[in-house]
A and B are shown apart, each in its own frame.
Chain A
Amino acid sequence: MVQTRSLIDEHGRRTDGRTMDELRNVKIQVGIVKNADGSAYIEFGKNRIIAAVYGPREVHPKHMAQPDRCVLRCRYHMSPFSTDTRKNPAPSRREVEISKVMREALEPALMLEDYPRAAIDVFVEVLQADGGSRCAGITAASVALADAGINMRDIVPACAAGKVDGKIVLDINDVEDKEGSADMPLAYMPHLERVTLLQLDGILNQEEFNECLDKALQGCKMIYEIQRRALIQKYFGDEQELKEES
């Protein structure tokens, strides 16, 4: 990876004006796809992502059904117009891998044993990508699963931390992902205190590794609060939110 320019200025500000520990703007709206059993729209920086959940419903093809639990199916997909150069709409190897790690990140939070012989389908559509789309996708998908009324042990917020200009920073954006030196996405169940997704690209020493992990964890906790507020907003409205804050 080539560092072509300075990504952190002398005041400790990043390319988009954030501090080292600041998230991008995160906005979540619940229940925006009318036909789905549960859905969420997330704006995470410039990421624009819709997650929709269908199910529990009958499994097709039928032989996929499991007698003791529900099958979880996940699809992460990027729209052709979501990136700088047009993305071929056919699923890439990257999307296949992300679909897999995303399913594995969500599965520990779901009580799949409550819905034997059924399937739950999670569709994550990236309308605009801005670095960290898998984390934003997982964050939205777990809100959509809650919106669908699926029995869950916990909600799964996800957030990345990384290394940029030799410093560990929270929530890597597109430029920092491409020009920075490390990216570590993390998904974490805040109540069960368990990591359900962890990846790393780039070089970190042991100390930086631990710092990065801790920073991403703090990010997940902040995002969890936003997820929670979005769900309260849909089911109890502004009134409840005001009451809670006073």
Chain B
Amino acid sequence: MDLFLHLWVMIFIYTIFAMSLNLEMGYTGLFNFGHVAFFGIGAYVSALLTLHQVPFEFALVAALLAAGLLGFLLSIPSLRLRGDTFGIATLGFGEIIRMVFQNEVWLTKGPMGLPGIPKPVLFSYRFATLPQYLLLTLGFSVLTFLVLRIIIRSPLGRAFKAVREDEVAAVALGKNIFHFRIKSFVIGSVLAGLAGTLWGHYTTFISPGDFTLLETILVLLIVVLGGKGTELGPLVGAVVLIFFQESLRFLRLPAEWSRYLAPLQQMIFGSLLIFLMIYRPEGLLREKGAGR
């Protein structure tokens, strides 16, 4: 039963993470390959603050602001780039943030990581047990879903899609594409920070090794598998992939296998990404009205 609840907590956290990437990649066409950086910032900021006895409410707000601010700063130089150039710039950025976690030992304890992150307390209600935490993550993912739904169906969301589909036409209609890209990127970063915060307080231990390219690939795969630019795609992708990933962990395979199992699992992720792109680039759910 606990395993089941754990699975759903992870699924909801990754759904939020994937929804944030879906806004950037699926709706606005920004190839963010360093999305894990914002997840990491959210986790670290909130963990550090709560470990210093700051109430969770403030820590959460600070984490979201930090992720958003970082997203804003990064977006200024890199959003001028063409798609692939932007992709590689964000990839490098993700690595740099990890280097910061690793090297600023005075703050983050470096590779040792931060243990004992307290469970969140929201309005003097403590989310300590698994069912309670499930409720918290469910609540936040529903909230994220509704916020994104409102954004996507608003004129702002339509402008995002216009930027994705045809930059020239968007410019011709008097849209400042640069502003729309920044908005999308900042909202995406804030939501990734939210997912990271929830994740950090759930596992109660974070270290730089948790925020590698693997996380980016996993969330990218969730978005692509579920269907880019669809409202429910991130949830569908998260259910399938988190189930696959976490169930392997609970199969209780012999310890000496783990040296082979981890790379093997990641090879499966990589090849799944390639196969999807070649044979079913639209994913499981197809975006309404999408060409091709």
Partners in one complex: no
Q: Which residues of B contact A (CB under 8 A)?
A: none
Residues of A within 8 A of B (CB): none
